[in-house]
Structure 1
Amino acid sequence: MNGVRLGKITRATTGSRLRVLELCSGCGGMSLGLQSAGLELLGHVEQDEPAAATYALNFSAPPGISAESWRKARDMEKCGPEELAVELGISNVAEGFDVLAAGLPCQAFARIGRSKLRSVTGDEDAYRNDPRAKLYRRFLEYVEAVQPIAMVIENVPDILNFGGHNIPEEICETLDVMGYTCSYTLLNAAFYGVPQMRERLFLVAYDKALGLTPTFPSPSHSAELPSGYEAARTVALKYIPEIGAHFIPIPVAVDGLPSAVSVEAALGDLPAINEHWRDPVTMRRRKVQDQIDYRANRDLSAYAELMRKWERFTTEGSTDGHVVRLTPRDFPIFRRMAAGDDYPRALRIAEEMFTAALERMSQRPDPESVSWLAARKSFVPPYDPGKFPNKWWKLDPKAPSRTLTAHLGKDSYSHIHWDSDQQRMISVREAARLQSFPDGFRFAGAMNAAFRQIGNAVPPLLAKAVGEHLRGEIVSAATSRMKLDRARRRAA
């Protein structure tokens, strides 16, 4: 029996908070959820400098750790557990943390990431050699050094089918040998109060001495998954072993739960933004950190109230993040799109606008001439609707949003605001709301960096649900074990 881990199990019965080390923490979505679930953040590793800066902005350094060390960006491949412990002022890395969490980079596993890599390299199987796909092995090295009593891993569902290989199953088999009991499943954020259809794999592991198999939180909301999500689940679950799998059936919402939070409920109280087309100079000068007042005389949804009053992140009267992209060619298209319209419909609208513009010309240019092509370019986007059907999408205010991605950092057309009068894509703060970051959560860096951080993050409300469930299971099992040990000693 591992004495270090046994000491941590005993500590869990004393009311002390479970201490967390998170790898690939990003800007802190999972950390925020775990902190809100009652866990203590004592260390994190993140190599992206803006994300690491955001983390430090929002989470105070533990006692004895300098602000510089807490803010420092670190590559988990280059920064080993012992080196990290020294930098964080922890004398023994095996005794410093109870929970090891990780939102391992998903780009190598996600099918959209595989397609992008294939287009760059021309190699159908290039994703297999992406070094980010091997970071889970580095995670296991951290497990050996840290000796946690619990672990949480989050990733995209496609990690279940990485070229026909089920990586979570491999991780679980390795952790079995290391003395842990493991489970994994798929959770959709919309079922846990997040206004977004975001499907993710979660893997949880406990020290075998706790005597329990990990389970997952029951949904707090009901939602109807679009057909595309059901199809993606089928593909992802194709390589679950028929015998001996560590997979647990996906939790199902029971009757009577509140409906999933809609986009309108999530964003309706945030400021209207029109400067991008009324006064572009003002928008160019605006920074992510600039504050703007909330809309006046708006009834707050329960979700909006939560975002304003989240403990440690309360806001009063205003919030930041009201920056959007300046793409004037497309604003009239956004205005004419209906809620739920995608790129093929946007392209037809643009073609209609171009045709109408030609009819207004006193001298029409010859088709395919230089002047004709120039005129067309000023109205019509260049993307092939066959290859990019989901490149544009106008939010449906009555339903949860589609999945936010890191690609928001380069192109936010996948989430166009439903209000045609505003004729724009979503702002940084709106993206943060859709990901369940509270309004007092600040983002370091400029607009692109903020969008990327948000799209990469674990939704805090989903992480909170997982964290509360994990903490409850650990404390209950540890307490039961302690009582049993005491009874055995008395009997002896």
Structure 2
Amino acid sequence: MAAETETIERVSRTAPGRRVLDATAISELKEALSIIKDHRYTEGYTLTSLPTVAYDLLQEMMVLLPGIDDTSAWWLLLTALDKPVWPADKQVDALLVELGLLGPENTPENGRHRILESELSDRHIPALHRALAGHVSYCDEDHTTSNCELQQFTLSHRIDRQVSAEGTERPTVVDLFCGAGGLSHGFTRGVTGPQFDVALAVDEDEAATDTYRLNHPEIPHQKIQCDDIGNLAENADELEELAPDVDLVVGGPPCQALSVAGYRSRRADDDSYSVIDDPRTELYQHYVSLLETLEPQYIIMENVEGIRSPVGDSDRRVIDDVEAALSELGYTTDHRLIDCSRFGIPQERDRVILFGVRGKTVPEPDELVGEFFGALIPDTDTETTIHQALSNLPRLRRGEGGDVVAGRHRGRASEYVRDNELHNGTQLTYNHQAREHPMEKDRKLFSDVMEPGDTGWDVKYGTEYGHLIEYDVGTEENPKFKDKYRMLHWDEPSPTIVAHLEKDANSFILPDYYEYARPDVTKQDSTRSRGITPREAARLQSFPDSYVFLGPFTSQFRQIGNAVPPVLGDRIASVLGKFISNGSPAAASASDSLAAKSDD
């Protein structure tokens, strides 16, 4: 016995970072070791056979250990042995009620909810078990307060936000083809312009509408609908009931059929493919039909550059069809091709913005439309780089990260991040998972071959590693997919963030930060040369870090690539705020105000 005591004392003294055990602690440890050694489920001191033991029996064994009660035993199973059990803690059940996973009437008196434990185990999400259990164990604040990271996930927070919004007199907006809510976020956050109330948001992508709901707690659940826009157009009475007295309708019909990349991809797979026959080309008809029912005073449509290009081999332009249909409804419209980088958004993203006003609501609609674009487009050529956009995000290697990453990079947030309040509201980093890039040829390209600015074309015809480019890049006279592989520049804006990122990120390869952005030979690591993460794509799209994207990894990229940058939405809202005053036309005074402030 004395020898065992000496051994424990020696180990406690030599173990790094450990305190020396006192006599009481040594006595309790010896007792615990004795129980483990003599227990029928162990072989001496080894615990290798424990994984096959029923959880209830493991809990009973742990209760025999000194200082371990029933609650602690379940916590040990969860945290130490990584078992998918639900810990016995009333705070956990209270949090489950807040998250809507558990009804108050079903909370067990003993604190252990076996039904929920079974359901969550079936869903294979033990990480959620540990995250929630760990939260209630260390969080000193009530999880409904603004200091709690989980606040945005709770029902009470959503109810509070919705109650506080009641009775406010703000202009109202309907967001069609809303996606994950980038445009709506710009209209509701009120950083540079007024806040709008969302009367209705619609999209057929379930993951996107889930994301929208989570990040817009102020909007009641029934006002965010996952539905085909055509179904909504067929139910005019229901639509009028959901969104009466709408000031503004925004949105852009899905643009894949009109984008250069989308057209090129479909032609490669099907020589008979026609943009005109693609049903997505005519989604704008549903958009127009909804406008006829809602009768908003103003409309905003956002779309790709292809909407104003000839379709296929014809002279037809979709933008002409749209404006003709809107004219029949009494709208005066115009459109501009804008470069999002001029708004400080760190990517080269050209988009068509169409603006329209119902002619009978203002005295000189043509002048008002002109004033809108004069005030919208900045006079300066602002350029924000990838380096500025991704400042203070954790620097990941291939395969690192996850849906939730603790902490930030120690560097100071850039002016772009601070001015747009992208880093506010959270100390965590969401949706920051780096691809592993398992193919050896890709790792070779990213680590040893490509330099910032290089594409697959450059590798094919400018290096000895052309054999690693296994697809046809074409010829100089007829190039094909030359940028399917592309390494980015830290000191330049990003190319257009696209939904194709869900497939791969080979055209958005971020070179090692410590080799190219902030050179430091002691920290350089070529495994940091990898495709961008969803969070990095979201930063480049100007989404705040607290904006959490739900759904599978691939869906997160699709949602981000399809979104309208919130900063652009905020800019549009700030201009429209000069037109709208509590839902009423600002008339001539708005036009005068805009003329005086066209360089906002």
Distance 1:59 1:81 in 2: 27
Name which of 189, 193, 207 aligns with 1:50.
Answer: 207
Distance 2:579 2:245 in 1: 21
Q: Which runs of 5+ in 2 are unaligned?
A: 1-166, 475-479, 516-524, 591-600
SS in 1 for 2:210: helix
Distance 1:395 1:219 in 2: 33
Counterpart residue number, 2:456: 343
Task: Select the structure with the greater relative contact order (CA < 8 A; seq sep ≥ 6).
Answer: 1
Counterpart residue number, 1:130: 278
Asked whether 1:77 is paired with 2:230, we answer yes
TM-score (structure 1 length as normaliser):
0.73
Report the AA paired with residue 178 of structure 2: S
Asked whether 1:210 is paired with 2:324, we answer no
Written as runs of structure 1 = structure 2, the 5 A alignment for 1:470-481 is 470-475=576-581, 478-480=585-587
Pairwise CA distance, 1:81: 6.5
Report the AA paired with residue 25 of structure 1: C
* Bigger mean CA deviation after superposition, 189-198 or 208-217: 208-217
Distance 1:451 1:60 in 2: 22
Counterpart residue number, 1:27: 180
Counterpart residue number, 1:91: 241
- Contact 1:287/1:446 (CA < 8 Å) preserved in 2? no
Distance 1:350 1:49, change over 3 A: farther
Written as runs of structure 1 = structure 2, the 5 A alignment for 1:109-120 is 109-120=258-269
Counterpart residue number, 2:382: 259
Counterpart residue number, 2:436: 326
Distance 2:538 2:568 in 1: 14
- Contact 1:217/1:469 (CA < 8 Å) preserved in 2? no
- Contact 1:99/1:148 (CA < 8 Å) preserved in 2? yes
TM-superposition CA deviations, 1:187-232 (whole Å, max 9, x none)? 1110011000100001011121223331445699xxxxxxxxxxxx
Pairwise CA distance, 1:111: 2.1
Distance 2:435 2:464 in 1: 22
Pairwise CA distance, 1:331: 2.3
Pairwise CA distance, 1:437: 0.6
Report the AA paired with residue 110 of structure 1: S
Q: Which runs of 5+ in 1 are unaligned?
A: 1-13, 221-250, 355-375, 484-492
SS in 1 for 2:579: helix
- Contact 2:333/2:354 (CA < 8 Å) preserved in 1? yes
Pairwise CA distance, 1:184: 0.6
Distance 1:48 1:351, change over 3 A: farther
Report the AA paired with residue 266 of structure 2: L
Distance 1:150 1:219, change over 3 A: closer
Name which of 39, 42, 61 aligns with 2:196.
Answer: 39
Distance 1:446 1:349, change over 3 A: farther
Distance 1:15 1:206, change over 3 A: farther
Written as runs of structure 1 = structure 2, the 5 A alignment for 1:6-25 is 16-25=169-178
Counterpart residue number, 1:447: 553
* Bigger mean CA deviation after superposition, 113-122 or 44-53: 113-122
Distance 1:132 1:18 in 2: 30
Asked whether 1:157 is paired with 2:305, we answer yes
Pairwise CA distance, 1:99: 0.8
Report the AA paired with residue 207 of structure 1: R
Counterpart residue number, 2:329: 178
SS in 1 for 2:431: coil
Distance 1:105 1:185 in 2: 18
Distance 1:27 1:46 in 2: 9
Counterpart residue number, 1:291: 405
- Contact 1:217/1:466 (CA < 8 Å) preserved in 2? no
SS in 2 for 1:202: strand
Report the AA paired with residue 386 of structure 2: V
- Contact 1:61/1:70 (CA < 8 Å) preserved in 2? no
Distance 1:26 1:316, change over 3 A: closer
Asked whether 1:425 is paired with 2:531, we answer yes
- Give the count of matched residue pairs: 390
Pairwise CA distance, 1:418: 2.8
Name which of 497, 500, 505 aligns with 1:404.
Answer: 497
Counterpart residue number, 1:101: 250
TM-superposition CA deviations, 1:455-484 (whole Å, max 9, x none)? 11111111211221122134499234699x
TM-superposition CA deviations, 1:418-460 (whole Å, max 9, x none)? 3253111111110000011111101001211101111111111
Distance 1:50 1:30 in 2: 17
Distance 1:315 1:92 in 2: 31
Pairwise CA distance, 1:317: 3.0
TM-superposition CA deviations, 1:254-303 (whole Å, max 9, x none)? 4xx473111111113211101x2xxx5xx4xx542x1231111x122111
Distance 1:427 1:348, change over 3 A: farther
Counterpart residue number, 1:394: 487
Distance 1:466 1:398, change over 3 A: same
- Contact 2:456/2:469 (CA < 8 Å) preserved in 1? no
Report the AA paired with residue 304 of structure 1: V
Pairwise CA distance, 1:165: 1.7
Asked whether 1:121 is paired with 2:270, we answer yes
Bigger Rg over Cα: 2
TM-superposition CA deviations, 1:102-136 (whole Å, max 9, x none)? 1210011112211222223321x522111111111
Distance 2:554 2:463 in 1: 26
Name which of 532, 538, 541 aligns with 1:435.
Answer: 541
Pairwise CA distance, 1:20: 0.8
Report the AA paired with residue 320 of structure 2: E
Distance 2:588 2:235 in 1: 31
Distance 1:407 1:456 in 2: 9
Distance 2:559 2:547 in 1: 12
Asked whether 1:147 is paired with 2:295, we answer yes
Report the AA paired with residue 467 of structure 1: A
- Contact 2:343/2:382 (CA < 8 Å) preserved in 1? no
SS in 2 for 1:462: helix
Distance 1:193 1:437 in 2: 13
Distance 1:258 1:151, change over 3 A: closer
Distance 1:101 1:479 in 2: 19
TM-superposition CA deviations, 1:77-120 (whole Å, max 9, x none)? 1223646846xxx6374x34211111210011112211222223
SS in 1 for 2:538: helix
Distance 1:181 1:96 in 2: 20
Distance 1:219 1:448, change over 3 A: farther
Report the AA paired with residue 97 of structure 1: V
- Contact 1:346/1:392 (CA < 8 Å) preserved in 2? no
Distance 1:84 1:440 in 2: 36
